[in-house]
Amino acid sequence: MKYQCTKCSFQWEGTSYTFDNVRVHEKTHLPKNENISVRCKVCNTLKITKGLINSNGGWECKMCGNLINAQGHVITS
């Protein structure tokens, strides 16, 4: 599979297992007022928010207490 972003020079080539990289990239082009969702990879909690999550790209999961990045992976515990 191949992907070329229409808004910048981002390119991706891989399998459906690595397609999350494309979804994460597309979130960088969202308007500030558009809803985005991120699922915690630890406890599967879903966070829906407007625009960017915060300045460091993370949010605190209310279920497990970990700091989660935009891909849903743990930054710190």
pLDDT in tens, 17-70: 888 888 888 877 766 666 777 788 888 888 777 654 444 556 778 888 888 776
What is the reported pLDDT for 51? 55
CA distances from 42 to 10, 46, 52 (A): 28, 11, 21
Burial of 12 (0-12, 13-18, 19+ CB in 10 A): middle
What is the reported pLDDT for 31? 63
Answer for the pair 22, 45: CB distance below 8 angstroms, yes or no: no
What is the reported pLDDT for 55? 46
The pLDDT tens digits of the residues spanning 7-18 come to: 888 888 988 888
